[in-house]
Amino acid sequence: MMVKELNLVLLGGPGAGKGTQASRLVSEKDLEHLATGDILRDEVSRNTRLGKRAKEYMDKGELVPDELVIDMVRKRVENKSSSGYLFDGFPRTVEQAEALEGILELDAVIYIDVSREEVVRRLSARRVCSDCGTNFNLKFDPPSEEGVCDKCGGGLVQRDDDQPQVIEDRYDTFLKKTAPLIDYYRERGLLKEVDGEGTPGQVYQRVVDKLGENG
């Protein structure tokens, strides 16, 4: 018997907890995690052509142009066979959503809803391991030893785009460019809304409950 593919999108503003929820979902549902922000940061750190172009937008809290991101996603999906994908941070515009429709069929879009105040609180306290990419939060989920990753011992840093003004700009970008996708997917019957406030475990339980509603 063929195992049915499951293709999911995690939609939400910056700091909504997409990355945290994604790591749990991919390990429990055996999905391929496709986080465009992570891929772009990797391109930037390797100083590739794409990385150089993307950096100027990322540093300002703006979106990288659609054609660059769509091309990057298309290549990854075409070159791999997987039991399904979890898109994290993609699509972020209606144009990207339309392109994704031509690439594969989605089963559900999980929208993690978090207030602007909570986003600013979370992101200003976020620290990321410079080696393995694990996220910590100085207030809610601090590392055991200050400045050191619990998982791999790497050094913890603040993302360039987690500076206060850039956080505000990223949130404005989300409202303008990405929030229209909430209605876009609601109209297509794919949207599952989840309250993103609370602990990662509480939010994960809500996500799983929502996914379970249609089998």
What residues line the site for ligand AMP (CB under 6 A)? 14, 36-37, 40, 57-58, 61-64, 69, 89-90, 92, 96, 161, 170
Nearest to ligand AMP of 59, 146 (CB atom): 59
Please state, in angstroms and rounded to a whole number, the distance separating the CA atoms of residues 32 and 147.
30
Shortest Å distance, C-beta 46 to ligand AMP: 15
- With respect to ligand AMP, which residue has the nearer C-beta, 40 or 50? 40
Q: Which of 10, 18, 25 is nearest to 119 (CA)?
A: 18
Nearer residue to ligand AMP within complex by CB, 153 or 175: 175
* Residue 126 bears catalytic tag: yes
**Residue of 41, 55, 122, 170 marked active site:** 170
Residue among 159, 177, 186, 210 flagged as catalytic: 159
The CA-atom distances, in angstroms, between 65 and each of 54, 56, 62, 159, 164 are: 8, 11, 9, 21, 23
Burial class (CB in 10 A: 0-12, 13-18, 19+), 105: exposed
**In this complex, which beta carbon is closest to ligand AMP, that of residue 34 or of residue 108?**
34
The whole-angstrom separation of Cα 175 and Cα 182 is 10
Looking at the Cβ atoms of 45 and 205, the one nearer to ligand AMP is: 45
Catalytic residue selected from 41, 55, 92, 122: 92
Q: Can 188 be counted among the known catalytic residues?
A: no
Is 41 assigned a catalytic role? no
Q: Is position 121 annotated as part of the catalytic site?
A: no
Angle at which helix 66-78 crosses helix 49-58, to 10 degrees, equals: 130
> Active-site residue among 18, 41, 55, 122?
18
Q: Tokens at residue 6, please?
A: 């499951």
Longest dimension (CA), the chain: 52
Q: Is 116 a catalytic residue?
A: no
Nearest to 170 by CA among 128, 103, 205, 123: 123
3-state secondary structure of 34: strand
Among 126, 127, 192, 206, the active-site one is 126
- Residues marked active site are found at 18, 92, 126, 159, 170
